[in-house]
Amino acid sequence: MCAITAAKTSVRDVLARHSIQPRKRFGQNFLHDPAVCARIAAAVAPAAGESVLEIGPGLGAITRPLLALGARVTAVEVDPRIADYLEEDLRAEPRFRLVRGDIREVADSALSEARVVVGNLPYSITGPLLALLIEQAPRIDRAVVMIQREVATRLLAGAGGREIGAPSVLLRLLYDVSRVLEVGRGAFVPPPEVKSVVLRLVRREGATLDPALRELVNRAYAHRRKMLRKTLGAVAASEEAIASALAAIGRAPNARPEELEPGDWPRLREELAAGDRR
């Protein structure tokens, strides 16, 4: 029996032994491929004793390789059945701590020590969890997350790509985002309907999102097919001022939001602010 088949059988055995049925409302697809788990842990690259926050640990497929690398793991699990299993199975591991609850509600306390985040993010709440990475960015040094391939494509899209959106821009203003690997459906029990991609996010030194920059990006992408000089009236004196600011950053006066690179937005905000002062 190959390692992948054995791991899949082990996951099914654990679920059966503990009478656990995967729940759709929690977006539960349990990772079992040991090679994928090892790649994710290696991408996290924890230093010995470094604290790591794991979102949705499942049966511990990523938790165990992280512990083997010397990390201190705080795992946040919302499903009480899974939490009971982890508490029992890893009770002898002094570097493991379990937090029962929804990461969206306990993020502040869970990030009190850890500045590294890892997770096979539940696809049903990917959007809110990516928003969490934006909101908590000042407290995060790096993150390794698995998300559906379609969302990863949007996050990695460059200028001219219709996939890019406001969350992609905001995340990439805060983090350097790179692709680690693609994960097939067969790496999970039960298999999800889509393929997955693991991304690594490394915090940009000194990067911040002030309210004006966030408003600019969100306003622009609220009408992504329209020209920026038509949609940014609330943050500029006139269409002419917007066109002038776009020209100053090397973009056409009729540019639409998807034609800008993430790095263009802070420059555009500065040009618009300078125009208001003239």
pLDDT at 3: 43
Task: Give the residues of the chain that fall short of pLDDT 50.
Answer: 1-6
* Full-model pTM: 0.89
pLDDT at 160: 58
- Rounded CA-CA distance 246/57 in Å is 45
pLDDT at 22: 67
142-148 vs 196-203, strand pairing mode: antiparallel
Q: Residues 30, 61: contact at Cβ < 8 Å?
A: yes
pLDDT at 34: 93
pLDDT at 195: 95
1-12: pLDDT as tens digits: 334 444 555 888
- The vertex-207 CA angle with 216 and 200, nearest 5°, equals 105
pLDDT at 161: 64
Contacts of 225 (CB under 8 A, 6+ apart): 256
pLDDT at 183: 97
pLDDT at 10: 83
Calculate Rg over the CA atoms of the chain: 21
pLDDT at 7: 53
Structural domains of the chain ordered from first start: 3-203 (3.40.50.150), 211-277 (1.10.8.100)
pLDDT at 159: 62
C-alpha dist (Å) from residue 85 to 6, 20, 76, 105: 20, 10, 13, 22
207-223: pLDDT as tens digits: 989 999 999 999 999 98
Q: Which two tokens stand for residue 187?
A: 């790496």
Question: What are the backbone dihedrals phi and psi of residue 132, each rounded to the nearest 5 degrees, phi first?
Answer: -65, -40
pLDDT at 25: 63
pLDDT at 254: 93
18-63: pLDDT as tens digits: 777 766 666 678 899 999 999 999 999 999 999 999 999 999 999 9
pLDDT at 277: 58
